[in-house]
C-alpha cells in the first residue's frame, strides 16, 4: 500500500491543485454540465478510430454525467454517463488515478443499449486513498476486446481520503513499493488482469506490499533475468504473477512464481523469461498479488528496465521447414512441419502461398509450440486455392514483429500441385439379375454393376412387401477400386411375406459423411405363397382275423423351432422381420417371443399367430416389435412353444443372436 509522507510532493501537489482548479473552471464554462474536459491520453493507450458509419464523427464518444468536473467524490462513488457506441461486454473499464498518476481503482463498467448503437453506462467506484488529492476518472473503451483502444473519456475530480472502505467487484486497490514514484518513461498500465463484476469477500487482506530489491531500476537485462524482493504478506495463492511490457505497452512475457511460506513475511528470487523487443529499448516488469478466484489484486509493483539492441550474430532468428521436402507434389490442405531457432516475436508465424506468376493463393498465420527465449516447433495444415492447371507453387514463412512491422526472418519452400482430375461421371446402379417378376426366396442373390466405385465400398439394400412395409435391410461389399467401375454379387436376407406376393428390392449408394444418396436402383420380384399341406388320408381298416386289440395312441413327434431368416449372427434393425419353420403346430396356435440385450435386459416381448397346416415343416413369419438399443448392441431373440392355458413346461424353445444397427445407418 502506497504511503503519504508529511511534506512529500508539496510543490507537485500544489501545482496539481492549481491545474485542477483551472480545468474545473474550463469545464464549468463549457456548454452543458456533462461535457468532459479534454485530457491528455496516457502514453500506454493508443487510440485507433473505428470506422463505424452509424456514429456521427462529431459525436462525443464518451460523456461523463456523474461525477461532474471538479466534484468532490467519496468511496463508493457513482459513475454514470453516455456512449456514442456501446461496446461488447467487458469493452468498457474505468481507472481512478491520483495526482501522481497512481492507480487507486479499476474495474469493468456496466453498459446499457444495443452493441454498436448509442447507450449509457453506470458503475460504483470504490477505492482506498490515504489522503485527499486531486485526481482523474478515466474511461477506456475497446469495441474489439482483442484490439486497440477505440475511445477515451476522463473527468478531473477531487478525491477524499478513504482507508476503511474495501473495494467492491467494480473496483480494486493497486499498491506499489512504499516511497516509490511512478516511472516517467513507462507510466503504470491498466489493471494487470481486468476485473469482471463478480461478488468479492467483504474482508480483503490489508497491508500487502511488494518490494523489488534486485535488479535496480534502469538495469540492462536479457532473457532470462533474475528478480529478487520481498512481500509483507503471504500471497493469495502462494505465487506472485508477473508480466513484461515493451515501450509501446505490448505484453512480451507473463507467468507466475512461488513465494515463501504461509503466515510469514516472505522473500523471493525468481528467473523470469520474456521475448526481448527486436530492436531492444525500454521494458517494464510488473509484479502483482491477485486472488485467482475473485480477481482481486492486493498489491502491485513495477520496475523499469532496458534491453540492449541485438547485435548481428550467428544465432539470429532462422525458420526451417522440415516437411514436406522441396518440389513435393501436394494438394490443399498441405501439412507443414518445422521450427525456428527463437520463439517468434508474436508467438506465431505468418504464411503466404503464391503460384509461379506470383499470384497469391492463400495467406494467414499459425501459432507455434515453445516458450519465450527458446527454440520453437510447429506442425500446421494450410488451406489454399490450387491453380486450375496445377504447376509450381511457393510457400513463404516469416516472423514479423506486429509492433514495428519489421520482418525478422523469412523461409521459403517450392512445391508442385498436380492438375485437377478429370470430372467423375455421375453414379448409377444397374441390376443384371434376377430379372423383374422373377419368383424368389430368402436369401436372394442379386448381381449387377455400378458406373463408379461406391462411396463407402458397399451398397445398401432395402426390401419392401406389397404394402410397402420394410421386410429386409442391410448392405453388401462391391468388388473394384476407387475411381473405376465396379461389379457386385450380393446375398440379401429378408422375412418372407406370410402369403407370398410382390416385393420390391432397392439398392442404394449412400455417402456416410454427408448422408446423401448418390444413386439408387430397384427391381420388382415375387415370393411364392407357402404350400398348402393336405392332412393325410387314414387307411381303410382291415377286418381283424383275430380278436380285436385296442390300438395304442399315435406317437407324437418332437417339436422343433427353426429360424431361417435372418441368419443368426447378422446385422438387423427394429422392427425385425423373422421367418422359419416348426416341426409341429404350436400348442395354442401362437409362439411367444422375447428380445433381450447381452446383459439380459428385456427390450420387447409378445406373441404371434402360426397358421397350423398339419405336422412337419410348418412355416411361420412375423414382425417383432422391440425398443431399439444403441448401435452395435448384441441382441438375443427367444421363441417358445408353450401352452398358456395349461401352464406346463415349454414344449420347445430356440434362441438366435444378432447385432443391432438402426435402419439407414452404415453397416
> What does the pLDDT read at residue 437?
92
Q: Is residue 131 part of a domain?
A: yes
pTM of the model: 0.26
> What does the pLDDT read at residue 60?
73
Of 276, 270, 275, the C-alpha closest to 370 is 275
Q: Is residue 117 part of a domain?
A: yes
> What does the pLDDT read at residue 26?
40
Identify the band that residue 665 occupies on the pLDDT scale cut at 50, 70 and 90.
low
Q: Is the pLDDT of residue 191 over 80?
A: no
Based on the domain organization, do 40 and 168 belong to the same domain?
Answer: yes
44, 249 contact by CB (below 8 A): yes
CA pair distance 52, 49, nearest whole angstrom: 9
Range with lowest mean pLDDT among 450-454, 537-541, 569-573: 537-541
Choose the final residue of a domain: 278, 311, 344. Answer: 311
97, 136 contact by CB (below 8 A): yes
Q: Is the pLDDT of residue 20 over 50?
A: no
Range with lowest mean pLDDT among 463-467, 550-554, 578-582: 550-554
Residues 239-261, mean pLDDT to the nearest whole number: 88
Identify the band that residue 236 occupies on the pLDDT scale cut at 50, 70 and 90.
confident
109: left (phi over 0), alpha (psi -120 to 50) or beta: beta
CA pair distance 618, 582, nearest whole angstrom: 5
Question: 120 has which bridge partners?
Answer: 82, 112
Q: Is residue 72 part of a domain?
A: yes
Based on the domain organization, do 444 and 413 belong to the same domain?
Answer: no
> What does the pLDDT read at residue 9?
37
242, 223 contact by CB (below 8 A): no
Of 129, 137, 136, the C-alpha closest to 160 is 129
Q: Is residue 186 part of a domain?
A: no
506, 629 contact by CB (below 8 A): no
Q: Is residue 407 part of a domain?
A: yes
394, 413 contact by CB (below 8 A): yes
Domain containing 587 equals 561-660
Residues 122-134, mean pLDDT to the nearest whole number: 85
CA pair distance 570, 492, nearest whole angstrom: 11
Identify the band that residue 21 occupies on the pLDDT scale cut at 50, 70 and 90.
very low
Three-state secondary structure call for residue 492:
strand
> What does the pLDDT read at residue 461?
96
- What CATH number is attached to the domain comprising 449? 2.60.40.2550
Average pLDDT of the chain, as a whole number: 78
pLDDT tens per residue, range 328-351:
999 889 999 999 999 998 889 999
- The highest-confidence range among 126-130, 155-159, 544-548, by mean pLDDT, is 155-159
Based on the domain organization, do 408 and 348 belong to the same domain?
Answer: yes
The C-alpha cell that represents 373 in the structure block: 527465449
Range with lowest mean pLDDT among 145-149, 287-291, 319-323, 602-606: 145-149
Give residues with Cβ within 8 angstroms of 652, minimum separation 6.
Answer: 558, 559, 560, 561, 640, 641
Choose the final residue of a domain: 147, 173, 199. Answer: 173
Comparing 146 with 259, the larger pLDDT belongs to: 259
Based on the domain organization, do 69 and 121 belong to the same domain?
Answer: yes
Reply yes or no: is the peptide bond before residue 215 cis, omega within 30 of 0.
Answer: yes
Based on the domain organization, do 127 and 270 belong to the same domain?
Answer: no
Q: Is the pLDDT of residue 526 over 90?
A: yes
Of 133, 134, 74, 138, the C-alpha closest to 109 is 138
Q: Is the pLDDT of residue 182 over 80?
A: no
Choose the final residue of a domain: 504, 527, 550. Answer: 527
Q: Is residue 613 part of a domain?
A: yes
Based on the domain organization, do 5 and 132 belong to the same domain?
Answer: yes
pLDDT tens per residue, range 70-126:
788 988 999 999 999 999 987 898 988 887 777 788 888 989 999 989 999 999 998
CA pair distance 225, 271, nearest whole angstrom: 6
The C-alpha cell that represents 409 in the structure block: 526472418
Based on the domain organization, do 375 and 404 belong to the same domain?
Answer: yes
Residue ranges of E strands in 496-555: 501-510, 517-527
Give residues with Cβ within 8 angstroms of 323, minimum separation 6.
Answer: 335, 336, 337, 338
Give residues with Cβ within 8 angstroms of 577, minimum separation 6.
Answer: 470, 471, 472, 494, 495, 565, 621, 622, 623, 624
> What does the pLDDT read at residue 523?
94
Based on the domain organization, do 2 and 147 belong to the same domain?
Answer: yes
CA dihedral 543, 547, 550, 551 (to 10 degrees): -50
Q: Is the pLDDT of residue 493 over 80?
A: yes
The C-alpha cell that represents 473 in the structure block: 435391410
Based on the domain organization, do 52 and 169 belong to the same domain?
Answer: yes
Give residues with Cβ within 8 angstroms of 601, minimum separation 6.
Answer: none
Q: Is residue 444 part of a domain?
A: yes
626, 606 contact by CB (below 8 A): no
> What does the pLDDT read at residue 375?
92
Of 261, 310, 259, the C-alpha closest to 288 is 259
The C-alpha cell that represents 389 in the structure block: 492447371
Q: Is the pLDDT of residue 384 over 60?
A: yes
Q: Is the pLDDT of residue 304 over 50?
A: yes
651: left (phi over 0), alpha (psi -120 to 50) or beta: alpha
Other CB atoms within 10 Å distance of the CB of residue 358: 7
Based on the domain organization, do 37 and 140 belong to the same domain?
Answer: yes
Residue recorded with cell 507473463 = 254
Q: Is residue 665 part of a domain?
A: no
Domains: count for the chain: 5
Identify the band that residue 129 occupies on the pLDDT scale cut at 50, 70 and 90.
confident
- What CATH number is attached to the domain comprising 362? 2.60.40.10
654, 563 contact by CB (below 8 A): yes
Q: Burial of 271 by CB count in 10 Å (0-12 exposed, 13-18 middle, 19+ buried)?
A: exposed
Identify the band that residue 614 occupies on the pLDDT scale cut at 50, 70 and 90.
low
- The highest-confidence range among 60-64, 444-448, 514-518, by mean pLDDT, is 444-448
Based on the domain organization, do 42 and 143 belong to the same domain?
Answer: yes
Q: Is the pLDDT of residue 629 over 70?
A: yes
- What CATH number is attached to the domain comprising 8? 2.60.40.1220
> What does the pLDDT read at residue 600?
87
Comparing 557 with 457, the larger pLDDT belongs to: 457
Q: Mind giving me the DSSP string for 301-354?
A: EEEEEEEPPPPP-TT---EEEEESPTT-EE-SSEEEEEEESS--TTSEEEEEEE
Q: With pLDDT > 70 as the criterion, what percentage of the chain qualifies? A: 76
CA angle 458–459–465, rounded 5-degree value: 150
CA pair distance 128, 159, nearest whole angstrom: 10
Based on the domain organization, do 266 and 374 belong to the same domain?
Answer: no
CA angle 436–442–443, rounded 5-degree value: 95
The C-alpha cell that represents 186 in the structure block: 513507462
> What does the pLDDT read at residue 34?
35
Amino acid at each position: 500500500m502506497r504511503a503519504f509522507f508529511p511534506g512529500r510532493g508539496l510543490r507537485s501537489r500544489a501545482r496539481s491543485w492549481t491545474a485542477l482548479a483551472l480545468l474545473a473552471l474550463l469545464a464549468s464554462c463549457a456548454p452543458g454540465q456533462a461535457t468532459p474536459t479534454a485530457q491528455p491520453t496516457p502514453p500506454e493507450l493508443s487510440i485507433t478510430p473505428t470506422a463505424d458509419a452509424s456514429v456521427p464523427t462529431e459525436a462525443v464518444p464518451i460523456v461523463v454525467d456523474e461525477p461532474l468536473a471538479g466534484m468532490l467524490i467519496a468511496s463508493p462513488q457513482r459513475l454514470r454517463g453516455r456512449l456514442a457506441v456501446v461496446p461488447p461486454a467487458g469493452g468498457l473499464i474505468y481507472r481512478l488515478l491520483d495526482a501522481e498518476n497512481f492507480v487507486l481503482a479499476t474495474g469493468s463498467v456496466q453498459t446499457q443499449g444495443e452493441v454498436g448503437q448509442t447507450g449509457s453506462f453506470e458503475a460504483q467506484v470504490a477505492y482506498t486513498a490515504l489522503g485527499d488529492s486531486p485526481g482523474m476518472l478515466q474511461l477506456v473503451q475497446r469495441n474489439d476486446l482483442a484490439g486497440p483502444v477505440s475511445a477515451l473519456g476522463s473527468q478531473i475530480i477531487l478525491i477524499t481520503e478513504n482507508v476503511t472502505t474495501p473495494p467492491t467487484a467494480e473496483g480494486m486497490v493497486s499498491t506499489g513499493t512504499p516511497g516509490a514514484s511512478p516511472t516517467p518513461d513507462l507510466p503504470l498500465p491498466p489493471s494487470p488482469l481486468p476485473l469482471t463484476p463478480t461478488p468479492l469477500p467483504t474482508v480483503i487482506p490489508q497491508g500487502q506490499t511488494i518490494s523489488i530489491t534486485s535488479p535496480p531500476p534502469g538495469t540492462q537485462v536479457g532473457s532470462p533475468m533474475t528478480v529478487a524482493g520481498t512481500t509483507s504478506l503471504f500471497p493469495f495463492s502462494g505465487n506472485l504473477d508477473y508480466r513484461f511490457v515493451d515501450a509501446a505497452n505490448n505484453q512480451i512475457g507473463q507467468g507466475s512464481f512461488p513465494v515463501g511460506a504461509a503466515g510469514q513475511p516472505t522473500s523471493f528470487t525468481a528467473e523470469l523469461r520474456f521475448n526481448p523487443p527486436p530492436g531492444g529499448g525500454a521494458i517494464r516488469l510488473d509484479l502483482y498479488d491477485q486472488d485467482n478466484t475473485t480477481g482481486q489484486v492486493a498489491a502491485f509493483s513495477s520496475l523499469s528496465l532496458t534491453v540492449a539492441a541485438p547485435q548481428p550474430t550467428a544465432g539470429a532468428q532462422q525458420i526451417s521447414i522440415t516437411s514436406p521436402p522441396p518440389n513435393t507434389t501436394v494438394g490443399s490442405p498441405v501439412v507443414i512441419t518445422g521450427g525456428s531457432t527463437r520463439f517468434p516475436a508474436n508467438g506465431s508465424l505468418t504464411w503466404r502461398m503464391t503460384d509461379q506468376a506470383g499470384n497469391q493463393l492463400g495467406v494467414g498465420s499459425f501459432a507455434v509450440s515453445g516458450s519465450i527465449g527458446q527454440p520453437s516447433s510447429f506442425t500446421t495444415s494450410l488451406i489454399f486455392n490450387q491453380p486450375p492447371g496445377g504447376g509450381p507453387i511457393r510457400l513463404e514463412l516469416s516472423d514479423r514483429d506486429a509492433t514495428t512491422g519489421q520482418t525478422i526472418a523469412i523461409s521459403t519452400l517450392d512445391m508442385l500441385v498436380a492438375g485437377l482430375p478429370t470430372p467423375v461421371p455421375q453414379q448409377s446402379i444397374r441390376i443384371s439379375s434376377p430379372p423383374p417378376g422373377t419368383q424368389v426366396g430368402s436369401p436372394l442373390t442379386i448381381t449387377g454393376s455400378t458406373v463408379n466405385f461406391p462411396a463407402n465400398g458397399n451398397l445398401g439394400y432395402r426390401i419392401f412387401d406389397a404394402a410397402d412395409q420394410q421386410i429386409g435391410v442391410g448392405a453388401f461389399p462391391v468388388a473394384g477400386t476407387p475411381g473405376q467401375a465396379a461389379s457386385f454379387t450380393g446375398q440379401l436376407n429378408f422375412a418372407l411375406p406370410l402369403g407370398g406376393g410382390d416385393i420390391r428390392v432397392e439398392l442404394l449408394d449412400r455417402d456416410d459423411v454427408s448422408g446423401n444418396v448418390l444413386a439408387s436402383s430397384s427391381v420388382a420380384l415375387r415370393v411364392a405363397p407357402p404350400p398348402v399341406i393336405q392332412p393325410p388320408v387314414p387307411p381303410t381298416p382291415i377286418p381283424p382275423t383275430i380278436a380285436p386289440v385296442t390300438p395304442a395312441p399315435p406317437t407324437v413327434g418332437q417339436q422343433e423351432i427353426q429360424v431361417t431368416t435372418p441368419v443368426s449372427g447378422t446385422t438387423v434393425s427394429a422392427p425385425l422381420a423373422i421367418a422359419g419353420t416348426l416341426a409341429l403346430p404350436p400348442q395354442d396356435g401362437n409362439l411367444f417371443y422375447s428380445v433381450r440385450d447381452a446383459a439380459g435386459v428385456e427390450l420387447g416381448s409378445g406373441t404371434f399367430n402360426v397358421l397350423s397346416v398339419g405336422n412337419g415343416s410348418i412355416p411361420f413369419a412375423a414382425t417383432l416389435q422391440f425398443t431399439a438399443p444403441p448401435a452395435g448392441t448384441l441382441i438375443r431373440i427367444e421363441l417358445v412353444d408353450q401352452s398358456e392355458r395349461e401352464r406346463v413346461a415349454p414344449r420347445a424353445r430356440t434362441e438366435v443372436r444378432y447385432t443391432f444397427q438402426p435402419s439407414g445407418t452404415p453397416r
